[in-house]
Amino acid sequence: MTLENKHIETRMVPPADGRAIGSGQAASVSPNEAVDGPARQSFALSSRFAVAPMIDWTDRHCRYFHRQLTSRAKLFTEMIVDEAVLHGDLERLLGFDDAEHPVALQLGGSDPEKLHRATTIALDFGYDEINLNVGCPSDRVQSGTFGACLMRDPALVGACLSAMVDAANGVPVTVKCRLGVDEQDPGPALDALADEAIAAGVSGIWVHARKAWLQGLSPRENREIPPLDHERVRRLKARLGAPFVGVNGGLKTLDHASAVMANGAEGALDGVMLGRAAYQTPDLLTGVDAAFYGEPHSSFDYDRLIETMVEYAAGHVAAGGKLNHVTRHMTGLFSGRPGARRWRQLLSEGTTRPGASPDLIREAFRLVRLEPASAAA
């Protein structure tokens, strides 16, 4: 399908709990309006809870699954490099299901002109937010001179974000960064990055509340070893005032995330972003709409979820895809419940066998007992 006829038609999509999800398509407004007044309030509300961008994890099948668990959380794509957008298969890289809204695209890059072009292309796919990655510490990303190493060059980050805001035609542009890298002092390092971002016209700043050590630590170690400093993010919010500031890093449960968002000597934050916890124990997403958006508490309809995912997986297989492209994101469901181990085993092993049917999802579900979760299962 060509880019010209790929523009996603906005519509209302019923999520797993029966409420309608709006398209999330941002209205066309000026860059100043995008970070001020009603537009800012709307962005902040939609961003109270987000599932973090995670390479190899938050693909379109993962996001579709997560959307069945929460109708309100903002879902992020994996990071997609600007060069890939400019020269790659656009439908494979940028296509998504309308049901995923609100959904944000994360771009990687350090060339303002290329990021401007990539943002322009992404607009035709209907994303609700475009985000720049200034936090990934991997060697591969560093070799391309983007990701966390850009913390050392806030002026370049500002130029990149300004180009993206110019191209975005009012769709919110944000940045996700670290506290700093290597020997940087996280006080001035984060402030310098944030000031450039605000001057560029971004709608928000997401901060992973750790430094990144680009030499000596692996990407996995950089998610765990550098100490967390949520208070530093709160100090940034207190200094900036109105602009949206959200926090990521070390958040394990909804209660923990809510406490980090609301409490602290420097005041409250605007949003929280969970990564591994949301992916590895996706059941927690069923509580997001009530905990962060004031929706009524209600029991979750797992039967409906399973039927929705069977139908979705069947469509993917019929189109030539593999069953485990979908089911690999579902293995963490039911963690702590009786039968969870067999669920994981069937979805991990059974779905890779030749001729495996989406009915295997139903078969695995029949082995699960929906009792309160415990650590024993």
Positions marked active-site: 136
What does the alpha-carbon distance between residue 280 and residue 335 come to, in Å, rounded to a whole number?
A: 9
Beta-carbon contacts of 174 under 8 Å, excluding residues fewer than 6 positions away, are 104, 129, 130, 131, 132, 202, 203, 204, 205, 206, 244
- Can you point out the beta strands (E) in the chain? 49-51, 74-81, 103-108, 129-134, 173-177, 204-208, 244-248, 271-274
CB 178 within 8 A of CB 152: no
CB 151 within 8 A of CB 180: yes
Measuring CA to CA, which residue among 80, 74, 21 is closest to residue 51? 74
Q: Is 314 helix (H, G, I), strand (E, B) or coil?
A: helix
Q: In 180-192, which positions are buried (b, 16+ CB within 10 angstroms) versus exposed (e)?
A: bbbebebeebbbb
What does the alpha-carbon distance between residue 65 and residue 164 come to, in Å, rounded to a whole number?
A: 29
CB atoms within 10 A of CB 3: 12
Q: Is 132 helix (H, G, I), strand (E, B) or coil?
A: strand
Q: Residue 49: beta bridge partners?
A: 272
What does the alpha-carbon distance between residue 296 and residue 289 come to, in Å, rounded to a whole number?
A: 8
